[in-house]
Amino acid sequence: MAEYLAGFLEIIIQEADFVERFVRLLEQEKVLLTEGRTEALVAAVKDKEQLAAKLNDLTQRRGRYLADNGFAPNRAGMESWSARHPGQEQAIAAWNRTLALAARAKELNRLNGQLIELHMQYTGQALEILLRKENRLDLYGPDGRSTASGDRRIDDAV
């Protein structure tokens, strides 16, 4: 039983460590978005996806352990497990760390979503301005006549 419990402790500690790494990636993503360095987001998103897959695996492993021991395979089950095993201080501390980091990750994800939305709005507005026909200048050719709507070049022969 002690070996089985040690494996569970390892899962919980790894989960906390991976959530912490995930938070750092979200913080990096926030900096990139704030600085407008969207080209660097591709690598950050790839790293985030890989880390999310590892986190998902750890979450499933934790859930299997809980289910195998008569607990719900979710947060409520972990809370019940913690209440029944108050002497497992290291596991409980790691779980509490995971919860705190997950709350931070949720907030960062919300903020990053807002930053992405702002970038999309600005990009959309810029495209609208560039493509809007009403904002195009009425230019005149060398003969003083307005150019045709399809020909917006400035004639340098003037």
- The domain limits of the chain are 2-135
Name the residue with tokens 């695996």. 57
Structure tokens at 83: 């209440």
Angstrom distance (rounded) from CA 46 to CA 125: 28
**pLDDT, position 6:** 87
pTM: 0.75
The Cα-based distances of 90 to 2, 23, 105, 156 in angstroms read 14, 21, 22, 77
The arrangement of secondary structure in 2-135, i.e. its CATH architecture, is Up-down Bundle (1.20)
19 DSSP β-pair partners: none
Question: Mind listing the pLDDT tens digit of every residue in the chain (158 residues)?
Answer: 677 788 999 999 999 999 999 999 999 999 999 998 888 888 888 999 999 999 999 999 999 999 999 999 999 999 999 999 999 999 999 999 999 999 999 999 999 999 989 888 888 888 788 787 555 555 666 676 765 555 555 555 55
The answer to whether residues 12 and 94 touch, using CB atoms and an 8 Å cutoff, is yes
Residue 54 three-state SS: helix
